Amino acid sequence: MPVTSERRGRVLIARLDRPEKRNAMNGEMTLGLDALMNELEDDPELWVGILAGAEGVFSAGSDLKDGLNNSTERGGPYGVVRRQRVKPLIAAVDGLAFGGGFEMVLACDLVVASRAASFALPEVKRGVFALYGGPRRAAHALPLNIARELALTGEALSAERAERLGLVNVLCEPGRALDEALALAGRICANSPISVRESLRAINEPLEADDALAWEISAEAAKTVRASEDTREGIAAFFEKRKPEWKGR
């Protein structure tokens, strides 16, 4: 299975496990992750979730060859990006989290990352658009100019810099992200689950109040980009492993 799970007491661990594709998300992975996120929300015995990647990588985002059916009714993109959650979700990142992978991280509430982790919105390098909330959520999680830097250059942000800027809650050594995420989850589970849920709601709901407009703007931007020659060129260059020749139209 490309998405696996494990229970540790009141914590549900969901692992993206398609390392041969750098955990790039396709329809099967989306359905698997959606089912686990439903389990987390619906089971009263579960209080905290952890989203991790197997084999030293978090996720490279959408599988460009098989990534069209990547949205669900409850969770939106990848089954998690637009999910209305009441329980904390921790991203455990060991390796790259690029494109949609970074957007999944940004959809989580807390981030644990190893020094081997890196984060990027590389869509501009391919002539496409980060339509799953990446630019907007990066601007919430990071200083505004850093979010602009990521969105406009497509370059990667190291885990060390991300920790200094406040994106990463816990920085650890390679291979330790899941262990440290479990430790953080344990600190949360030591508290009243009702108090935790309501505290999370008090923080998240005001931030999400303008979501409708933000998603509308993202959809319009994605439509404009998809209709361009640059999108076709960028995707072709990606598969042909060459430098794209941009036309600006």
Exactly one of 123, 180, 208, 240 is catalytic; name it.
Answer: 123
The verdict on whether 123 is a catalytic residue reads yes
Asked if residues 138 and 150 have their Cβ atoms less than 8 Å apart, the reply is yes
Angular region, 99: left φ>0, alpha ψ -120 to 50, beta rest: left
- Residue among 211, 225, 75 at smallest CA distance from 133: 211
| Paired tokens of 49 | 């979730």
Exactly one of 41, 103, 163, 180 is catalytic; name it.
Answer: 103
The verdict on whether 163 is a catalytic residue reads no
List the catalytic residues: 103, 123
